[in-house]
Amino acid sequence: MFQKPDEEVVLFSPMQGQITLNGKPVADARVERFLKWKDEIGEKDSVSTDQNGHFNIPIKKDTVKLSTISKFVIAQEIRVYIDKEEYLIWTMGTGNKIRYGELGGKPKNLRCELNDAMTRVEVDDGLLGTSCKWDSIEKQ
């Protein structure tokens, strides 16, 4: 009675960008994605930057069954690890379930300077803090 049909949701849109430290590309850094949405434990995966500091995080989808009285909410974080140093570059809570819904489109020329302070970015359906910047948003 209160169940909706199964729904495929985007937990995290694909993200490509460059990691820098003091303006220089960071090679072989671990870029870790953490998602929490269905339990308190959450899930992690990671990619590494290439020799020019570029990274490519793939899309993450799942199928969910929501009730008519519940709201889908996901917590996203991205941390970068270089040796024993840890940098939080993305923290977001969102209820958006579509590809590139986090920002309302695909960010162009995404770059993340590890020494930049986190700033709040206004988004339609959520709250984003990030040290990353982009030139524009390409509507999908």
> Do the beta carbons of residue 112 and residue 79 sit within 8 Å?
no
Q: Please report whether residue 2 resides in a domain.
A: no
Q: Please report whether residue 104 resides in a domain.
A: yes
Q: Please report whether residue 69 resides in a domain.
A: yes
Please report, for the domain that includes residue 96, its CATH number: 2.60.40.1120
List of E strands, 7-131: 7-12, 15-21, 24-25, 30-36, 43-48, 54-57, 60-64, 74-82, 85-94, 106-108, 111-113, 119-121, 126-130
pTM of the model as a whole: 0.91
Query: What's the pLDDT score for residue 2?
Result: 59
Q: Please report whether residue 13 resides in a domain.
A: yes
User: Hey, which residues does 32 pair with through a beta bridge?
Assistant: 46, 79
Domain that holds residue 105: 7-134
Q: Please report whether residue 139 resides in a domain.
A: no
For the chain, the domain total comes to 1
Backbone angles phi, psi at 22, to 5 degrees: 55, 35
pLDDT along the chain (140 residues), means of 10: 76 97 98 91 96 98 80 92 96 92 94 97 89 93
Q: Please report whether residue 27 resides in a domain.
A: yes
